[in-house]
């Protein structure tokens, strides 16, 4: 096992993360705007 740590490359779109964080609290509302996705 190699003791050296390889560099970590982050591939994160912060705008996309913010978009999904904004809807996370409403996602599981079965009667809300995402109702068609829960069928």
Return d(Cα 22, Cα 27) in angstroms, integer. 10
% of the chain beyond a pLDDT of 90: 62
Q: Is a pLDDT exceeding 80 seen at residue 28?
A: yes
Specify the pLDDT at position 8.
76
Q: Is a pLDDT exceeding 90 seen at residue 26?
A: yes
Other beta carbons within 10 Å of 35: 10
Rounded to the nearest integer, the mean pLDDT of the chain is 87
Specify the pLDDT at position 3.
65
């Amino acid at each position: 096992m190699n003791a050296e740590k390889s560099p970590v490359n982050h591939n994160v779109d912060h705008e996309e993360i913010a978009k999904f964080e904004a809807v996370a609290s409403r996602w599981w509302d079965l009667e809300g705007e995402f109702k068609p996705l829960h069928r």
